[in-house]
Structure 1
Amino acid sequence: MNKNGTLFSSKTAPIPRVRPEIDIIPIENNGQSYLYFRDSLGYATKNFAVDRQVAPLLSLLDGQHSVEELKPYLGEGVTTDQLLDYIQFLDKHRLLLTPHFQAYARQVEEQYESASAHISITAGNSYPEDPDELRAFLDEAFTGYAPPEIDIDEQSIKALYAPHIDPRVGLESYVKAFSLLQNLRPKRVVILATSHYSGMYPDLYENTPFIVSDKDFELPLGTFSSDTEAIDRMLNHPVEMGLSDNDRAHRIEHSIELHLLFLSYMWDHDVSLVPILVRGFDELFYMENGHLGQQVSHLGSYLREQFGNDENTLFLISGDLAHVGKKFGDDQPASQLFTEVKSFDRMFLTYAEQNNRKALLNLMKEQQDPYRICGFAPLYSFLSSASGLTGTQLTYDLWDERERESAVSFGSVLYTRQSC
Structure 2
Amino acid sequence: MDETTHPRLRNDIQAIPITVEGQQLITFTDPLRLSATGFAMDRRAIPLLAMMDGRNDLRDIQTGLMRITGGTVVSIAEVQALVEQLDKAFLLESEAFRERKNALMKEFARWARREPALAGRSYDADPERLTSFMQTVEQGLAPLPEHDPTGVTGILAPHIDIAAAQQAYVDVYRRVTGGGHGLAVILGINHHGGDGLFCLSAKDYVTPLGVLETDREMVEELKQDLPEGTLAEYDFDHMMEHSIEFQTVFLAHYLGTGLKIVPILCGGIHEFLSSGADPFEDVRFCAFRDNLRRIIGESALRTLLVSGVDFSHVGRKFGHGVPAESLLERARANDRVIIDHLLHGRARDIYRHCLATGDQFNVCGIASMVLFSSLVGPCRAELLHHGTYDEPATGSAVTFASMVFAGS
Normalising TM by the smaller chain, what interval? 0.7 to 0.9
1:307 to 2:296 alignment: yes
Corresponding residue for residue 273 of structure 1: 261
**Offset of residue 187 of structure 1:** 1.8
Q: Which runs of 4+ in 1 moved over 6 A?
A: 16-20, 31-37, 87-93, 95-98
- The answer as to whether partners of 2:189 and 2:367 remain within 8 angstroms in 1 is yes
Give the letter aligned to residue 104 of structure 1: R
Cα root mean square deviation, aligned: 4.0
Deviation at 1:362, TM superposition (A): 2.7
CA 1:90–1:301: 2 relative to 1, 3 Å: closer
| 1: CA distance, partners of 2:182 / 2:172 | 20
Q: How does 1:396-411 map to 2 (within 5 A)?
A: 396-411=386-401
Find the counterpart in structure 2 of residue 193 from structure 1: 188
So what's the TM-score if we normalise by structure 1? 0.77
Give the aligned partner of residue 222 of structure 1: 210
TM-aligned CA deviation for residue 385 of structure 1 = 2.2
Alignment of 1:341-352 (within 5 A): 341-352=331-342
How many angstroms does 1:25 deviate by? 6.7
The amino acid that maps onto 1:166 is D
Whole-angstrom distance in 1 between the partners of 2:91 and 2:350: 41
Identity of aligned residues (%): 26
Alignment of 1:128 with 2:116, yes or no, is no
Is the 2:324–2:397 contact (alpha carbons within 8 Å) kept by the matching residues of 1? yes
**Greater Cα radius of gyration, structure 1 or 2:** 1
**Pairing partner for 2:344 from 337, 354, 372:** 354
Structure 2 match to 1:163:
158
Partner Cα distance (1:300, 1:389) in 2: 18
Give the one of 38, 42, 46 matched to 2:33: 42
The answer to whether the 8 A contact 1:392-1:415 is kept is yes
Per-residue deviation, 1:370: 2.0
1:329-340 superposed matches below 5 A:
329-340=319-330
Matches within 5 A, 1:139-288: 139-146=135-142, 149=145, 151-198=146-193, 201=194, 205=195, 208-239=196-227, 242-282=230-270, 283=272, 286-288=276-278
Q: 1:200-222 deviations in whole A, cap 9, x for unaligned?
A: x4xxx1xx201111111112111
Match of 1:403, SS? helix
C-alpha deviations, 1:233-261, integer Å up to 9, x for none?
11112327812351122121100011111
- Pair 1:118–1:302, CA change in 2 (3 A): same
- What's the offset of the Cα at 1:377? 1.1
Q: 1:379 to 1:97 in 2, by over 3 A?
A: closer
Q: What SS is found at the alignment partner of 1:242? A: coil
Q: Which runs of 5+ in 2 are unaligned?
A: 60-82
Q: Is the 8 A contact 2:150 2:180 kept in 1?
A: no
Q: Per-residue deviation at 1:101?
A: 4.8
Which amino acid in 1 is paired with 2:294?
A: E
- 1:384 paired to 2:379: no
C-alpha distance 245-308 of structure 1, shift in aligned 2 (>3 A): farther
Shift of 1:301: 2.0
Distance 1:301 1:103, change over 3 A: closer
**Separation in structure 1 between the aligned mates of residue 16 and residue 326 of structure 2, nearest angstrom:** 26
Matched, 1:297 2:292: no
**Equivalent pair of 2:113/2:206 in contact (CA under 8 Å):** yes
**Aligned to 2:375, what secondary structure does the other structure show?**
coil
* Separation of aligned partners in 2, 1:25 and 1:307: 44
104, 116, 119: which one aligns with 2:112: 116
TM-score normalized by the length of structure 2: 0.79
Contact map agreement 1:27 1:36 (CA 8 A) in 2: no
Gaps of 5+ in 1: 1-12, 66-86
- Pairs within 5 Å for 1:360-379: 360-379=350-369
* 1:106-149 CA distance string (max 9 Å, x none): 21112113322211112111112222332222222222223654
